[in-house]
Chains A and B, each alone.
Chain A
């Protein structure tokens, strides 16, 4: 079983986020990148599958600042192969462009299963998983919270809003958008990451051509603007209630 996990790094929201002077992108000079939380779950799910049924786990990531730490941490958890893709330095890269750039590298790894985070806070033009599946002609199931492998197929648990859960079977190779791994991503001791830095090797590959067609064009990016539209209603509770009802009627809500 050859499991490939493409991951992306996203701006760390612990740090302040600023819009660049052009007004259509984030100011990259102040950004600090962190692994997309859902991709971290995808790595954990891949390691859990490997521990249960054997196989090889390969992590694939764009070559941006901080990527080595992400890859070595994955190796310390049990990933076998680490690949970083040169030429994908733009952190604001659209999912369309990212999926097209990742697809040839994923294909070259001849995966049986591709696990990736179901979403990222930077995926303005939709999650990257279905776009990868489209590029490779593989089936896709998103919002997956559990995976069981069988010969030539996978049984997955897919979560729907409102607490609904579906059991599905998908033929392999397939792309799964991981909502949550079966267990929270494990802790890996700093000494183990250090060990991985000594023993694991990061391969470098050129990414495919960057083609953002089909993505959204950002017209304006801005901080939420404060507006003073609230009205305080004074008076006895009964009067206030009458006034609220009046407002709701006037605006056609009730």
Chain B
């Protein structure tokens, strides 16, 4: 990659990209790549990619990264951390190589149309669904007791519940929010939400290459956080969890954060006696990428499910570190058409098939992308029509009884 004598001092695409990788955390580890190809083998869509991770590195080393950037196959990357998990040299493939490559395409304006809409919605409305920001807490309307919203009159709380885009707006996932509110009330948690002050955490937009948008959203959330007093953030969204835990601190925004399964497992002594209603079912737990692989939380959701009377836990073929992405990560939530065009299959269908093979009646989840994706998949996978998809919070709320 050295410049030959007399050539103008202009960095090639590969050199410029290499420089950008170095700026990212642990990015210099890219030099250690053994070319073993494990990353490409474990990638759920690796078999479809013109340049799966290991081959991207090959081209980078050969000073031929232009070819990689000329392909749009990078949008198949679900940022699911499977490659990062298996890499024997601990190269942060998801956060550096894959995300940086998406950033390059995005800056060049080469964004699939459906992803573009989600990004524009995030810019304008602060949520990917393009809903009115004023209606962010409408899911809580009519709940008794009411869900407390932080305001000038109510400026402090112990737990700030960061609700997130899908749990706020998506009709199916709003049910998870209502279930969590019910559990908080049963436990007597001192909590409140931000209401219209909350905007998308921005993590999936960041992993889809829109770093600037992520920073804009983080700064809006930071302003909202700064108006109130609280001790910790709790969220049902592993993507928000990941953002607050691993990305916001780099922007000077630092708060303790708990995923709801982590928080509730921590309160299991108080919760267990309240779980009086039997839920008779075989339940398989799907490890969300950003709870499991990205943040190492595997046991709390299983402890919670195990505490529900009547539930028999079964494991699917892919579990814990080897979990299989639902297809929604890294912008995948807004690339369904693109993925279908390239793959003619969905990872969510493979997952639902696994749940069926494991003999599960219920596929338990812990990420707001999943109820929608798996319920959709269950409709078309033969034999999976009867499979129920429930967030851990929904199963707990059911077990609370009245």
**Contact between A14 and B213 (Cβ–Cβ < 8 Å)?**
no
A173-232 interface (Cβ within 8 A of B): 184, 186-194
Nearest residue, chain B, Cβ from A184: B113
Smallest Cβ distance from B112 to chain A, in angstroms?
10
Asked whether B212 lies within 8 Å of A194 as measured between CB atoms, the reply is yes
Q: Does B134 have its Cβ within 8 Å of any Cβ on chain A?
A: yes
- Asked if A34 is at the interface (CB within 8 A of a chain B CB), the reply is yes
Q: Is B111 an interface residue (CB 8 A)?
A: yes
* A52-92 interface code vs B (CB 8 A; 1 in, 0 out): 00000000000000000000000000000000000000000
Check if A242 is an interface residue, CB within 8 A of chain B: no
Nearest-neighbour CB distance to chain A for B106, whole angstroms, equals 6
Could you tell me the distance between the alpha carbons of A194 and B119 in the complex, rounded to whole angstroms?
15
Contact A192:B216 (CB < 8 A) given known A34-B124, A184-B113, A187-B116: no
Interface residues of A in 26-42 (CB under 8 A from B): 34
* Contact of A191 with B211 at beta-carbon distance under 8 Å, contacts A34-B124, A186-B109 already known: yes
Does B237 have its Cβ within 8 Å of any Cβ on chain A? no
C-alpha gap A188/B110 in the complex (Å) = 10
Interface flag for B319 (CB, 8 Å): no
Task: Tell me if B210 and A189 are in contact (CB < 8 A).
Answer: yes
> Which residue of chain A lies nearest to B119 when distances are taken between CB atoms in the complex?
A187
Q: How far is the CB of A71 from chain B (nearest CB, A)?
A: 15
B216 neighbours in A (Cβ, 8 Å):
190
Those of B90-141 within 8 Å (CB) of chain A: 106-107, 109, 111, 113, 116, 119-120, 123-125, 130-132, 134
Out of A15, A34, A190, A191, which one reaches B132, CB within 8 Å?
Answer: A15
Q: Which residues of B252-285 are within 8 A (CB) of A?
A: none
Contact A15 B123 (CB under 8 A): no
Please indicate the chain B residues that have their CB under 8 angstroms from the CB of A188 in the complex: 109
- Count of chain B residues with Cβ under 8 Å from any Cβ of A? 21
Question: Given that A14-B131, A16-B132 are contacting pairs, would A187 and B111 also be in contact in the complex, using a CB cutoff of 8 Å?
Answer: yes
Q: Across the interface, which residues of B come within 8 angstroms of A184, CB to CB? A: 113, 116
With A14-B131, A15-B132, A34-B124 as known contacts, state yes or no: A190 contacts B109, CB within 8 Å. no
Interface of A is mostly: loop
Residue pair B109, A187 in contact (C-beta under 8 Å): yes
Query: Considering the chains assembled together, what is the distance between the CA atoms of A193 and B212 in angstroms?
Result: 9
Q: Which residues of A contact B213 (CB under 8 A)?
A: 189-190
User: Which of A15, A16, A187, A191 makes the CB contact (< 8 A) with B120?
Assistant: A187
The count of A-to-B residue pairs whose CB atoms sit within 8 angstroms is 38
By a CB distance below 8 angstroms, the chain B residues around A186 are 109
Separation of A33 and B203 alpha carbons in the complex (Å) = 27
Minimum C-beta distance from B213 to chain A (A): 4
In the complex, what's the smallest C-beta–C-beta distance from A188 to chain B, in angstroms? 7
Annotate B190-215 by CB proximity to A: 1 below 8 A, 0 otherwise: 00000000000000000000111101
CA distance A16 to B138 in the complex (A): 14
- Asked if residues B130 and A192 are in contact (CB atoms below 8 Å), the reply is no
Taking CB atoms, residues of chain B closer than 8 Å to A187 are: 106, 109, 111, 116, 119-120
| Alpha-carbon gap, A184 to B106, bound state (A) | 15
**Contacting residues of chain B (206-234) with chain A, CB-CB under 8 angstroms:** 210-213, 215-216
Chain A residues with CB below 8 A from B130, complex form: 14
What 1/0 mask marks residues of chain A from 230 to 253 whose CB sits below 8 Å from any chain B CB?
000000000000000000000000
Q: Would you call A14 and B125 a contact (CB within 8 A)?
A: yes
Q: Scan residues 96-140 of chain A and give those whose CB is less than 8 A from a CB of chain B.
A: none
Chain A nearest CB: distance from B37 CB in Å? Answer: 32
Q: How far, in Å, is B10 (CB) from chain A's closest CB?
A: 21
Q: Which of chain B's residues has its CB closest to A30's CB? A: B134
CB distance from B396 to the nearest CB of A (A): 34
**From B123, which residue of chain A is reached at the shortest CB distance?**
A190
Which residues in chain A, 139-172, are within 8 Å of chain B measured between CB atoms? none
With beta carbons under 8 angstroms apart, the residue of A14, A15, A34, A192 that contacts B107 is: A192
**CB contact list, A2-20 vs B, under 8 A:** 14-16
- Which residues does chain B contribute within 8 Å of A15, judged by CB atoms? 132, 134
Per the bound structure, the CA–CA distance linking A153 and B130 in Å amounts to: 40
Which chain B residues lie closer than 8 Å to A192 at the CB level? 107, 212
Question: Residues of B contacting A34 with CB < 8 Å?
Answer: 124
Alpha-carbon gap, A14 to B169, bound state (A): 13
- List 9 A-B pairs, Cβ < 8 Å: A14-B125, A16-B132, A184-B116, A187-B111, A188-B109, A189-B107, A189-B109, A190-B215, A192-B107
Interface residues of A (CB under 8 A from B): 14-16, 34, 184, 186-194
